[in-house]
Structure 1
Amino acid sequence: MANTKDFFHGVAQRILSNWTALKIAVEHGFGERDYAVELPSYMTETFYTNDNPTTDDIAGVLEEYMDNYFNTELDDNSSTQVAEHMCKFYRYCLEGNETIAIAEKEKLPALQTWILSRDELRQMGVREPIIIVNESDDDSESDEADEDVGNKMEDDDWVEVKPRRKK
């Protein structure tokens, strides 16, 4: 592998784009999408600027990032699972196991484009989705619609991820 750092960054994007806790935090407005877009680069730098980071070290970095930028406290052990995957690929990169690294990358879920920057989306030929907000002059209609959405979410067995409260 000529440039392991670029390869690792691509793996980090793929892993993090499929991390449910991060995606939910962005979708529910606990933090800006730009912070999620920056996370793969931040994690790549974390790996490549520290000597032999452990799974616990990386899980701690992920938890701190989620707390600082998404006001979200993780209680589901997902940060450890994400850290384990990332550490595995980092070892492949350090050891020069290109064949294994590429084969293992292919086993990962596909990259979800929501985590890509505008430039990366343009390079891939993907247009960024446009979100149209329907603003009503009548607040009572809006409140009723919000209640319907809340009830539907409860009926569909959604799990609400709440932002961490500052003390």
Structure 2
Amino acid sequence: MMLMNNNFDDKNQRDFDLNTERLVQAIDKVRANNSLPPTISQLSKLTGMHRNAISKRAWPSLKLKEIKTERIRKAETSPQPAKQLDPVKVLEDKLENAKRELVYWFNKNLDNEKQIKQLEQNLHRMTDARSYYENTLKQERIKTSELTTQISILKELL
């Protein structure tokens, strides 16, 4: 029984060592390539390990934090080159933004016009319904008045 347990321990240790080596290589790749984000998700993609398995080990997170601080420090210390802006490109970008905004407001206007038409239709229907019910009420009051008069006459006859 002891022999079987030992085999599992050996296999687990080999897997652990292999995953450690994968993590070291992935961290080196992230450190060397600024386009790779220093995140556990990125390490997960590079190693094929689950994020939780990486997170359970404390040292990868520490290494990632070091990489982040290194990148921030480099960005702060390196002078930013003055970009030469092409005036035509700037104007084209502004024109494109203006076109998008125009389309947005045009569509917004169409939506508002549809909504206004719908509200006007609803108002017209409500006005018609109100007139109908006012006339019906007036007729019912007249009938009630006539019936009350007839009841009074019948009471006098009795």
Same-fold call, TM cutoff 0.5? no
More helix by share: 2
User: Taking CA–CA contacts closer than 8 Å with sequence separation of 6 or more, which of the two structures ends up with the larger relative contact order?
Assistant: 1
TM-score, length of structure 1 as denominator length: 0.25
